[in-house]
Amino acid sequence: MRLPTAREREYLKDLVVVLTQKEIQLRYKNSWLGYVWSVANPLMFAILYFVAFKTFMRIDIPRYSLFLIAGLFPWQWFANSISAAPNIFLGNATLLKKVRFPRNALVSPTVLNDGIHFLCSIPVLVLFLFVYGSRPAWSWLIGIPLLAVGQFLLLYGFALTIASLNLFFRDLERLTTLVVTFLFFLTPVVYSESMVPAQYRAIVYLNPAAPIILSWRNLFLVGDLNWPLIAAGFAHAGVILAVGAAVYRKLCWKFAEVV
């Protein structure tokens, strides 16, 4: 396969930047409280789960509200990007039919847009840390860029796969919604991985979302860079990315015909 030239790489970078800016502008169009809504969504779910699990079920996890948002914020990035994936190519049908460019460039802006909103929510998490008498660790300087890259690669692979297949199997959009809900409860977001019985813990770690979400929570709560867990997250990302690239290469030449 021919590698892109320097000019082609520059063109692709500019295209992704322009499309990402467009995604952000569309998200905030006619919205006075755009950033607030982005943060309010996971916070409202945190309140709901706090009442359900801490107040009613009396789950024994210290600093549970901080524990919740440390998992819900990165999960929101995961869920939003996956949920938007089925319509990435369908929503850009005009571009697919009339403009000649690498079609997979349409995937990055969606994932980057949600990633930027996640990064912008980190100050809220810092505020919660100070409320509980804690503060950010120096390891955040390494951990945040590292985990952001890992989650981007994972989500890009997922989104590329789903967006490509959905052009040919339109029911995939509904199935994606169900899978995201299923993965949420399989991922230790509202509960700790230590609460999972030992004989079932391997199933949790087979979930591609689990290692990266747990890595974020370890980083935010205790400043810990769990390298085996991070390596597992990147391994999942590599596999999903390879699958996505293979599916895209197999189907992309038919996109303009079926969109």
Q: What residues does each domain of the chain span?
A: 6-258
Residue at 178: amino acid letter = L
Is 214:188 a contact under the CB 8 Å cutoff? yes
> What is residue 1's predicted lDDT score, i.e. its pLDDT?
47
- Residue 160 CB neighbours (<10 A): 28
> What is residue 92's predicted lDDT score, i.e. its pLDDT?
77
Mean pLDDT for back-to-back runs of 10 residues, the chain (259 residues): 62 75 67 66 83 84 91 94 91 74 85 91 91 92 96 96 91 89 92 88 88 96 93 96 94 78
Is 102:12 a contact under the CB 8 Å cutoff? yes
> What is residue 197's predicted lDDT score, i.e. its pLDDT?
87
- Report the greatest alpha carbon distance in the chain: 59
Per-residue tokens: 7: 């000019």
Q: CA-CA distance, 193 to 216, in Å (whole number)?
A: 14
Four-residue CA torsion sign, 200, 85, 76, 49: negative
Residue at 114: amino acid letter = D
> What is residue 4's predicted lDDT score, i.e. its pLDDT?
60
> What is residue 97's predicted lDDT score, i.e. its pLDDT?
74
0.85 exceeded by the pTM?
Answer: yes
Q: CA-CA distance, 141 to 25, in Å (whole number)?
A: 28
